[in-house]
């Protein structure tokens, strides 16, 4: 055998050794000890908006093998590339992460959030299959996933991981059972103590959020997942959950049990606006110019707010992937047409007369709001938006009543501009 052949054989042996070693290392799987435990960690609501829905993770604890990791999904970074543009469009990339349990619990306790621990009843093969599944999810190329706040979040991922190693036991026990809840009802309940977030998300959710969801889908919140797992039995009749312990009690934020309606706040607020608008219309009889000036200004303000909210609804519906914001009946209460109406109120402010087309447009905007109320009695239009109708309709009606005054639409009486050339504008307090 000449030198050339020996050199080729050496190269072949070297490459074979490297690939064999790499394969052995990549296929190496840690076998959990018989005493290993799998626990579902449930974290209660926190202070921030995205924390109100809770959090959870799967804790693999095996002291004999030095394994003590909590795997949890729903991780995001505000500083990542194009986070906000993607979020607004409905393309949200979240990830899984793993952390040692002391760090996980220390951070959670410092955040002052409730903590529950459930030991999951798995056999040895299921525990090892779960660990392999979690490790694969937490590996390069698998960490990132397309997030959906109702259908694919931290809780549904933990649910699906357990269901995967259990052969579908959880889904079979829950997918055909109604929960008596909807995505909207759960959202309203959990956000009720943050009024602005409550209003914004209630406004942005459309008809799809009002379909009754199964127990399977109700597990989208960690707290609901915990409660439902306690009721599930394995094929041999044993409980899926061996134990359920409450280990840390928050002194601040608790999960609300019932929905607190904002109707008692929204209705008087909107009624006050409506009465105020109508009163300005009445005052045009006594002090026409001053009353018309204020009515024009408040008409501009109301049209701006209503129109912008309606435009947001329209954009979410037609230009984003936020599927639960589609088919949104709130478009009838907060209408993009109000932005056109704003232009007519500007003409009213400058010329002292609201054009007839502006009157007709205001009739249309108010009529659509009334239509939304009538639609509530039709079963197919069963979006739960009574609070938002109460917030919009009285104001629309009051504004319409005011501008219908003959002192506003009479060509004979309203030729004088509200703001004369060279005149100082009226300033509050003067």
**Pick from 168, 57, 67, 54: which is nearest to 104 by CA?**
57
Residues 323 and 279 placed together within one structural domain of the fold? yes
pLDDT tens for the chain, 430 residues long, are: 454 444 433 344 333 333 333 333 344 457 999 999 999 999 999 999 999 999 999 999 999 999 999 999 999 998 888 898 999 999 999 999 999 999 999 999 999 999 999 999 999 999 999 999 999 999 999 999 999 999 999 999 999 999 999 999 999 999 999 999 999 999 999 999 999 999 999 999 999 999 999 999 999 999 999 999 999 999 999 999 999 999 999 999 999 999 999 999 999 999 999 999 999 888 876 667 788 899 999 999 999 999 999 999 999 999 999 999 999 999 999 999 999 999 999 999 998 888 999 999 999 999 999 999 999 999 889 899 999 999 999 999 999 999 987 555 554 454 556 665 555 544 433 3
Residue 316 within a domain? yes
Residues 234 and 267 placed together within one structural domain of the fold? no
Residue 310 domain boundaries: 263-409
Q: What is the pLDDT of residue 234?
A: 97
The DSSP bridge partners found for residue 244 are 118
Helices (H), 241-380: 263-283, 288-319, 337-351, 356-374
Question: Domain ends where: 248, 283, 314?
Answer: 248
Residue 370 within a domain? yes
Residues 225 and 305 placed together within one structural domain of the fold? no
Residue 18 within a domain? no
Residues 102 and 212 placed together within one structural domain of the fold? yes
The total of other beta-carbon atoms located within 10 Å of residue 248's CB is: 15
Residues 104 and 238 placed together within one structural domain of the fold? yes
The DSSP bridge partners found for residue 199 are none
**Antiparallel, parallel or unpaired: β 55-62 and 67-75:** antiparallel
- Classify burial at 238, counting beta carbons within 10 Å of its beta carbon; exposed 0-12, middle 13-18, buried 19 or more: exposed
Residues 155 and 242 placed together within one structural domain of the fold? yes
Residues 240 and 272 placed together within one structural domain of the fold? no
Residue 20 within a domain? no
Residue 253, CA distances (Å) to 44, 53, 74, 111, 191 in order: 8, 11, 20, 10, 11
Map tokens 């050794």 to a residue.
17
* Rounded Cα–Cα distance for residues 100 and 98 (Å): 7
Q: What is the pLDDT of residue 408?
A: 54
Nearest-10 Cα torsion for 197, 201, 202, 206: 180
Dihedrals phi, psi of 114, to nearest 5 degrees: -55, 145
Q: Which two tokens stand for residue 399?
A: 């504004």
Number of domain units in the chain:
2
* Rounded Cα–Cα distance for residues 96 and 69 (Å): 13
Domain with residue 234: its CATH number is 3.90.1720.10
Residue 151 within a domain? yes
Q: What is the pLDDT of residue 379?
A: 87
Residues 225 and 285 placed together within one structural domain of the fold? no
Q: What is the pLDDT of residue 416?
A: 57
Residue 1 within a domain? no
Q: What is the pLDDT of residue 365?
A: 98
pTM passes above 0.85: yes
Question: Domain ends where: 214, 248, 282?
Answer: 248
Q: What is the pLDDT of residue 103?
A: 98
Q: What is the pLDDT of residue 420?
A: 58
Sign of the C-alpha dihedral computed for residues 143, 148, 151 and 155 taken in this order: positive
Question: What burial letters (b/e) apply to 89-105, b meaning 16+ CB within 10 Å?
Answer: ebebbbbbebeebeebb
Residues 183 and 87 placed together within one structural domain of the fold? yes
Residues 168 and 278 placed together within one structural domain of the fold? no
* Rounded Cα–Cα distance for residues 228 and 389 (Å): 34
Residue 344 within a domain? yes
* Rounded Cα–Cα distance for residues 256 and 11 (Å): 68
Residue 279 within a domain? yes
Sign of the C-alpha dihedral computed for residues 308, 309, 314 and 320 taken in this order: positive
The DSSP bridge partners found for residue 37 are 61
Q: How far is CA 278 from the centre of its chain?
A: 37
Residues 241 and 275 placed together within one structural domain of the fold? no
Residues 152 and 196 placed together within one structural domain of the fold? yes
* Rounded Cα–Cα distance for residues 331 and 387 (Å): 14
């Amino acid at each position: 055998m000449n030198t050339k052949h020996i050199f080729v054989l050496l190269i072949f042996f070297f490459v074979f050794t490297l690939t064999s070693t790499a394969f052995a290392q990549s296929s190496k799987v840690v076998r959990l000890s018989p005493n290993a435990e799998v626990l579902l960690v449930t974290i209660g609501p926190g202070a921030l908006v995205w924390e109100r829905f809770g959090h959870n993770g799967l804790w693999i604890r095996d002291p004999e093998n030095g394994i003590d990791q909590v795997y949890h999904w729903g991780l995001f970074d505000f500083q990542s590339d194009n986070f906000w543009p993607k979020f607004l469009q409905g393309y949200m990339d979240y990830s899984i992460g793993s952390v040692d349990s002391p760090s996980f619990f220390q951070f959670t306790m410092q955040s002052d959030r409730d903590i529950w621990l459930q030991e999951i009843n798995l056999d040895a093969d299921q525990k090892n299959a779960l660990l392999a599944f979690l490790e694969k999810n937490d590996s390069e190329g698998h960490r990132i996933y397309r997030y959906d706040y109702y259908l694919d979040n931290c809780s549904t991922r933990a649910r699906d991981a357990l269901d995967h190693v259990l052969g579908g036991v959880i889904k079979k026990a829950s997918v055909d059972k109604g929960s008596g809840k909807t995505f909207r009802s759960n959202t309203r309940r959990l956000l009720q103590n943050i009024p602005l977030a409550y209003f914004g998300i209630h406004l942005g959710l459309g008809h799809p959020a009002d379909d009754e969801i199964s127990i399977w889908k109700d597990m989208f919140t960690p707290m609901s997942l915990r409660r439902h797992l306690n009721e599930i039995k394995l094929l041999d009749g044993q409980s899926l959950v061996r134990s359920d312990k409450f280990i840390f009690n928050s002194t601040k934020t608790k999960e609300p049990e019932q929905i607190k309606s904002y109707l008692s706040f929204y209705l008087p607020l909107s009624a006050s606006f409506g009465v105020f608008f109508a009163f300005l219309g009445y005052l045009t009889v006594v002090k026409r110019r001053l009353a018309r000036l204020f009515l024009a200004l408040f008409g501009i303000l109301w049209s701006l707010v209503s129109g912008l909210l309606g435009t947001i609804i329209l954009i979410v519906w037609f230009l984003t992937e936020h599927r639960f914001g589609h088919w949104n009946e709130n478009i009838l209460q907060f209408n993009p047409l109000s932005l056109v109406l704003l232009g007519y109120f500007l003409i009213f402010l400058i010329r002292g007369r609201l054009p007839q087309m502006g009157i007709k447009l205001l009739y249309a905007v108010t009529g659509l709001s009334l239509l939304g109320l009538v639609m509530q009695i039709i079963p197919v239009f069963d979006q739960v938006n009574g609070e938002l109708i109460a917030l919009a309709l009285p104001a629309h009606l009051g504004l319409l009543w005011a501008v219908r005054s003959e002192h506003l639409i009479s060509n004979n009486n309203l030729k004088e501009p509200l703001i004369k050339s060279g005149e100082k504008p009226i300033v509050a307090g003067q």
